[in-house]
Amino acid sequence: MKSHKVTVIPGDGIGPEVIGATRKMIDATGVRIEWEEAEAGASVFRKGIASGVPNETIESISRTRCVLKGPLETPVGFGEKSANVTLRKLFETFGNVRPVREFPGVTTPFSGRGLDFVIVRENVEDLYAGIEYMQTPGVAECLKLISRKGCEKVVRLAFELARAEGRSSVHCATKANIMKLTEGFLKRTFEEIAKEYPDIQAHHIIVDNCAHQLAKKPEQFEVIVTTNMNGDILSDLGSGLIGGLGFAPSANLGDGIAIFEAVHGSAPKYAGKNVANPTAVALSGVMMLRYLGELEAASKLENAILFTFEEGKTVPRDVPGVQNPTGTAEFADAVIANLGKVPSKLAARNYKQIKIPSLPRDPVVVVPSNRRTVGCDIFLEAGCSANQLGEFLEKTAPAFGLKLKMISNRGTQVYPSKGANTDAVDHWRCRHLAIETFPDNACLANYLDAIEKAGFRWMHLEKLEEIDGSNGFTKAQGED
């Protein structure tokens, strides 16, 4: 029988208990796993390792390429980055897969409606790339970076997952109606890639309506693919529909690497009390077995968990209405005793092994036929009025080959005034167009100098690109 190497990180708080229980359940399926125990999280931060992830752990994961991870705490006062996010980003696990399936015997307002969908969330880009700046002392900025490559990988993952799980539809949830370039990139990529999966219905849905539909009629969804922040919010909403965090597993999937973990955190108040629900980690373990190609063992373990809930004799304390809840370890023992039994109401689906998309590791993914710079937005800090700034720039810009088109304040055109009632702050986007060709860098630098000499501080500059005949920038609210 094949043996698999897996790095196991017990983690913090309830982590060692729920991970210990899960290891026991997985080992009882008969699958041979060589567990490499590794450390990350609070204990590591306390040793003074700022990332919370020691080199030995990184080496182990680089070797095994598969991780079962307990929750990691980010103790207040120890570094500013989460060890969880560090692990996901270090190993480029680009897709976060979170199944939401109703549980027998776990009563919620949605029980009996057959909830069974999966959220596939982009896992490394978007606002969660964590690129933030104070633009002025009173205005903060976070960059929302979305790449064609990131979109393609997560969209392909969603369609491959739909195929592996025998699903018939994928919804793409975006805010493309407002953020046409960033959120729109996922929508456009989804519509393009969908053509390669004619066996699966592809629908686009605006993300706020998706949240509304999830609360109203969640059974209509099978697979939802979405950007990082949307996915973070929608998937916690999903966990809430089926009984809470104790039941929510997840997989972080990358190219030849995967990290399996519960959605929940370290629940410190329950640490060491043998009361935590190990189901979320155990179901993450089921996902791991499928990833490793151990489909039979995965279904056996999933069925045993579902059977145990269906029986209702041995259930954790977070199941609503339970009188005598069982402990973490005893629940694991009950599941092990039920290995081989098949629940009558809800059994494991028929899965195939998922084909994880792999794209060339080339940073250039889109090569346009033509592109040109047609202007630039200069972002300025100024405490004056829009008119004072506008009149100055209108007068000064032509000597540098530019003309001022408009000024906006937090996205709304304020100069020339359109009569908007904008409550301005000291952060102005000043849109310039090239009079003929776009000025060279030396000329631009001289223009920025002239602006600063007049008492306006420039903070950044964005070139306005025309790519294959389309504007690579959006208009301000009110801009013609």
CB of 11 to ligand NAP, least distance (A): 6
What is the DSSP code (8-state) at residue 91? T
Is 267 an interacting residue with respect to ligand NAP (CB under 6 A)?
yes
Backbone phi and psi for residue 431, each to the nearest 5 degrees, phi listed first: -90, 120
C-beta separation of 303 from 343 below 8 A: yes
Among the residue ranges 69-77, 170-178, 198-206, 284-292, the one whose residues contact ligand NAP (CB under 6 A): 69-77
Is 52 an interacting residue with respect to ligand NAP (CB under 6 A)?
no
The residues assigned a catalytic role are: 128, 175, 208, 232
C-beta separation of 261 from 69 below 8 A: yes
Among 22, 51, 60, 266, which residue interacts with ligand NAP (rule: CB under 6 A)? 266
The pair of structure tokens assigned to 52 is 């919370």
Among the residue ranges 97-105, 274-282, 392-400, 401-409, the one whose residues contact ligand NAP (CB under 6 A): 274-282
Among 210, 276, 297, 386, which residue interacts with ligand NAP (rule: CB under 6 A)? 276
Length of the chain equals: 480
Among 26, 29, 44, 73, which residue interacts with ligand NAP (rule: CB under 6 A)? 73
CB of 448 to ligand NAP, least distance (A): 42
Instruction: Give the binding-site size for ligand NAP (rule: CB under 6 A).
Output: 18
**470/463 Cα distance (integer angstroms):** 14
Is 72 an interacting residue with respect to ligand NAP (CB under 6 A)?
yes
Q: Binding pattern to ligand NAP, positions 387-416, x when CB under 6 A?
A: ------------------------------
Among 318, 319, 343, 424, which residue interacts with ligand NAP (rule: CB under 6 A)? 318
The pair of structure tokens assigned to 38 is 């590794």
Cα–Cα distances in angstroms (integers) from residue 387 to residues 78, 79, 178, 394, 413, in the given order: 47, 44, 28, 10, 12
Nearer to ligand NAP, 218 or 246 (CB): 246
Is 25 an interacting residue with respect to ligand NAP (CB under 6 A)?
no
Among 52, 105, 265, 439, which residue interacts with ligand NAP (rule: CB under 6 A)? 265
Peptide bond preceding 71: is omega within 30 degrees of 0, i.e. cis? no
**258/65 Cα distance (integer angstroms):** 6
Which of these, 362, 350, 356, lies nearest to 66 by C-alpha position?
A: 356
Is 245 an interacting residue with respect to ligand NAP (CB under 6 A)?
yes
CB of 17 to ligand NAP, least distance (A): 9
In this structure, the number of other CB atoms found within 10 A of the CB of residue 369 comes to: 7
CB of 109 to ligand NAP, least distance (A): 17
Among 22, 57, 84, 189, which residue interacts with ligand NAP (rule: CB under 6 A)? 84
Among the residue ranges 151-159, 272-280, 331-339, 429-437, the one whose residues contact ligand NAP (CB under 6 A): 272-280
CB of 279 to ligand NAP, least distance (A): 8
CB of 277 to ligand NAP, least distance (A): 3
Is 95 an interacting residue with respect to ligand NAP (CB under 6 A)?
no
Is 246 an interacting residue with respect to ligand NAP (CB under 6 A)?
yes
Q: Binding pattern to ligand NAP, positions 424-463, x when CB under 6 A?
A: ----------------------------------------
**323/51 Cα distance (integer angstroms):** 42
Is 126 an interacting residue with respect to ligand NAP (CB under 6 A)?
no
C-beta separation of 4 from 68 below 8 A: no
**261/278 Cα distance (integer angstroms):** 11
Among 10, 71, 95, 375, which residue interacts with ligand NAP (rule: CB under 6 A)? 71
Backbone phi and psi for residue 266, each to the nearest 5 degrees, phi listed first: -85, 0
Which of these, 226, 194, 197, lies nearest to 210 by C-alpha position?
A: 226
User: Going along 110-160, which residue ranges are E strands?
Assistant: 116-122, 132-136, 139-142
Cα–Cα distances in angstroms (integers) from residue 160 to residues 170, 227, 402, 430, in the given order: 10, 17, 49, 44
What is the DSSP code (8-state) at residue 438? P
Is 98 an interacting residue with respect to ligand NAP (CB under 6 A)?
no
Residue nearest to ligand NAP (CB): 265
Classify the C-alpha dihedral 159-162-164-167 as positive or negative.
negative
The pair of structure tokens assigned to 263 is 């959605």
Contact positions toward ligand NAP, by CB under 6 A?
A: 14, 18, 71-74, 84, 245-246, 261, 264-267, 276-277, 280, 318
